[in-house]
Copies of this chain bind each other. A is one copy, B any other.
Amino acid sequence: MAVRLMESLATTGPLAELFSDGSILQAMLDFEAALARAESRLNIIPKQAAEAIVAAAVAANFDAAVLAQDALRAGTPGIPLVKALTEHVHKKDPAAAGFVPWGATSQDVCDTALALLLKKAQPILESDLGRLQDALRRLAVQHRQTVMLSRTLLQAAPPTTFGLKAAGWLAAIHRSQKRLHVGFQESLVLQFGGASGTLAALGEQGLAVGKAVAEELKLAYPDAPWHAHRDRLAALVCACGILTGGLGKMARDISLLMQSEVGEVAEAGGQSRGGSSTMPHKRNPIGCAVTLAAANRVPALVSSFLSSMVQEHERGVGGWQAEWPIISGVIQSTGLAAASMAEVAEGLTVDKLRMRANIEATQGVIFAERAMMLLGEKLGRDVAHKILEEATRKSVEQKRRLREVVGEMKEAREHLDPAALRELETPEQYLGVADEFQKRLLASAEQRSSNSVRDRGKE
């Protein structure tokens, strides 16, 4: 199993397995095997040679530790792998060894292996995002009418609903998932250009071989090799960055709502999750912490990738070599954040009573705007404003409800309908179009999401 204690909060899980040495090795070997098969199909190399190469292209035949060491001297893991594969083939079939790899260069091996790994990462990521969205949809529907404080600059503000809040998280994650999908589509392409991107060693058969290899590997075939043009990967990396930002926003919100003093929601505990042996009352926001950690790390990795795009001529010095750890870090951190927030959303406890109690605790001053709008219609905004300014000050100072204070003021008594005054602080009556917004967000997320589920089904 792939373990990295130092990065346990950043890389644990199925994506860590995907980027483990064995998995990477196999992806590189899969390219070699596909190339051999394709060239054999096109009668460029003997069928027997292809078979020998395919037979040898099994990760277990190779020692990742040795290859890593050699990679450092070669400047790429591709060169030592090809050398080791050639030696392996040679042992079985010396004649076949000369065809490893015919016409490809080490960057072709590495870049295509990366595309293959990303192809496997996509369903893992999308599945967690699917779980997360399902859970958020449930929360949004279930709490469509659950009123709570909105908070601007961390200060209490007029009410909203938890349904709208959840729908907002959902829609943002949904939009990001669509961008991620596009990013994957862009990135799942074959890289095959030979020494200098012209496939010169294959004469006029370069295109045919390329298309055949792409077909073998179920990768798209691009217009041309992209050895020094890394915008497709950049699009994927950026999509991860945006998604992680959205997940981080949700995690920040939840961790704030989980504060002892707020107490409106809680991550699920259990299985030593977020617990503390000495303080059983404590439910730490662990899923949020993992996600916020990702949101702290991923943006800078995106920056690194973008900086690294400035790659010289047909193969860069430094830019290309920087990419692997960046991409592996971005995909794993993003995936872990998605999985964590899926777990958080699925297990989230919502305390409606506490939400209402927190509204109550504001003494009604968050409804000052409402009172001012009501009075303003009668008295003009200026006058209304002055009245409310005085009323809210009193309410805060005297720790009395706003509606009481307002009710004692002459102008308010004259111009405000007693019923309106009584209902002034009823949160349900000051939600504006929260419900419409929630529905619109859900509808957008719903419709396209089913598409994307269908898309996933097709693949």
Contact = CB atoms under 8 A, between A and B. Distances in A.
Contacts of A290: 72, 75, 321
Interface stretch (A212-220, A312-320, A416-424): A312-320
B312 A256 contact: yes
A130 interface: no
Among A286, A291, A294: residue with most chain B CB under 10 A? A286
Chain A: interface secondary structure?
Answer: helix
A68 interface: yes
A262 interface: yes
A203 B9 CA distance: 33
Interface string A407-422: 0000000000000000
A74 B274 contact: yes
Interface stretch (A34-42, A228-236, A344-352, A451-459): A228-236
Among A6, A290, A291, A395: residue with most chain B CB under 10 A? A6
A125 interface: no
A156 B329 contact: no
Contacts of A258: 154-155
A361 interface: yes
A3 B64 contact: yes
Interface residues of A, number: 187
B255 A229 contact: no
Contacts of A199: 432-433
A289 B317 contact: yes
How many identical subunits does the complex contain?
Answer: 4
A100 to B, nearest CB: 9
A294 to B, nearest CB: 8
Given A153-B315, A279-B368, 8 more contacts: A3-B21, A3-B64, A152-B314, A155-B259, A204-B432, A244-B306, A259-B259, A293-B319
Contact of A6 (B242, B286, B325): B325
A33 interface: no
Interface string A140-156: 00000000011111111
Given A8-B67, A98-B382, A206-B432, A295 B279 contact: no
B304 A302 contact: no
Contacts of A283: 155
A441 interface: yes
A79 B271 CA distance: 13
Interface string A167-191: 1100110011001000000000000
Nearest to A196: B150
A71 interface: yes
Interface in A308-339: 308-319, 321-322, 324-326, 328-329, 336
Kindly list the 9 A-B residue pairs having the minimum CB-CB distance in the complex, ordered from nearest: A292-B318, A98-B381, A245-B309, A150-B196, A200-B432, A299-B306, A303-B303, A152-B315, A238-B238
Interface string A265-289: 0000001111101111111111011
A157 B313 CA distance: 11
Contacts of A328: 6-7
Contacts of A10: 322, 324-325
Nearest to A90: B382
Interface string A191-204: 00011111111111
Contact of A437 (B153, B223, B242, B274): B223
Given A8-B72, A64-B3, A197 B150 contact: yes
A362 B280 CA distance: 12
B280 A393 contact: yes
B317 A285 contact: yes
B201 A286 contact: no
A223 B299 contact: no
Contact of A296 (B179, B312, B322, B336): B322
